[in-house]
Amino acid sequence: ENSKLIEKSYIKEKFTTTTISTQHQTIDFPYNRLFEKKILDIIKEGRVEELNEFSIIQDEEEASLLSKSSYIRSVKNHIITLITLVSRASIDGGLQANIAIPLHDGFIQQLEELNRLDDIRNFAGDALHEFTKKVNQNKNDYFSKTITSCKNFICLNIYENISHSDIAEKVNLSPKYLSILFKKEVGMTVSDYIQQKKIEEVKKLLTYSNTPISEICSLLNYNDQSYFTKVFKKLVGTTPKQYRERSHLLDK
């Protein structure tokens, strides 16, 4: 009996080792973790415009095969995995589970009915866009049109040296009244929100690029790098350098 258990364990280990070894021999990095993280961040934040910049499904020669019987089956398997991850990201982004889960199930059912590769690829993009739009709508539903305009203005001009007065002028309100309204709806001051969004942008640059930290500091209009580091550590819990190291994108 013990011999049978040992034999079963050996067979399982042999299968796992052989599978991994075969993948390494035949495919060059089929699983792009950084690409996946970037896509999921975009969906979680509801950034519809940025999603247009990405090719959702890798080309045939780059995709890992999840089905030996059919390449189309393999692509479908990839998309099912992606839709599952995306539905979870949309929930993390604030979309109600009772919306995200039926969307997830419905998209997979529709996907299984498709048989043409072009239709399958286009469907994947449509599904991701729909999740992203739902997250975006959900985020904006909590705020008045005025505050939504303020938030959009801040995001679109995050690399500019925007001020409280600039935003008040944009939405035709006095700075004082905007302060009251913004704090009431968003739960923080306009200045704190700008700071938060700038640091979020810094995190993206640290994760997805090798731009020097000093240059990032300048790009986001922080004139004092020590102050910038202090603000970043206060909001994120680590220094910019430590954050980049954790993302494994630091130049070596």
Residue-wise pLDDT for 84-131, tens only, equals 999 999 988 888 888 889 999 999 999 999 988 889 888 988 999 999
Q: What is the pLDDT of residue 241?
A: 92
Maximum C-alpha span of the chain: 82
**Is pLDDT above 80 for 247?**
no
| Beta carbons of 30 and 64 less than 8 angstroms apart | yes
**Structure token digits, residue 68:** 């030996």
Cα separation of 242 and 204, whole Å? 14
Residue 143 φ/ψ region, left for φ over 0, alpha for ψ in the -120 to 50 degree band, beta for the rest = beta
Residue-wise pLDDT for 146-176, tens only, equals 998 898 899 889 999 999 999 999 999 999 9
Give me the chain's average pLDDT, please: 81
Cα separation of 210 and 94, whole Å? 30
**Is pLDDT above 70 for 21?**
no
Stated pTM of the model: 0.58
**Is pLDDT above 50 for 225?**
yes
Q: What is the pLDDT of residue 55?
A: 61
CB atoms within 10 A of CB 123: 21
Q: What is the pLDDT of residue 53?
A: 67
Q: What is the pLDDT of residue 209?
A: 85
Cα separation of 198 and 182, whole Å? 18
Residue-wise pLDDT for 58-75, tens only, equals 444 344 554 555 788 888
**Is pLDDT above 60 for 141?**
yes
Q: What percentage of the chain has pLDDT greater than the value 70?
A: 77
